[in-house]
Structure 1
Amino acid sequence: VFGDVESARTWMITKQPGLGKAVPLDFARTEIGAREVENLLGRIEYSVYS
């Protein structure tokens, strides 16, 4: 999705509006949170902004 490891790392530690301004790395500590992060990544990859 991001093209390089550094961009992915930066994204994972930055608050994301699509997760209610949560940090993906923190959000992904639970099974449900990890699924939400995966869903957001899919929406980013396919340019789905809903």
Structure 2
Amino acid sequence: AGEFPQLAQKYNVFAVPKIVINEIVQFEGAVPEDVFVEKAIIAHNTTI
């Protein structure tokens, strides 16, 4: 977050990793693969 303060502020980054998919789904920290896939599917289905 320190390297890109504008992006950190825009996406409310307080911890890393911070994942933002299509500006729809956001989550922080290491997550299990199944959770990551679930979030990606949610983002995909929301953009269709």
Name the TM tier (shorter chain). Answer: 0.3 to 0.5
Q: Greater CA radius of gyration, 1 or 2?
A: 2
TM-score, normalisation: structure 2: 0.42
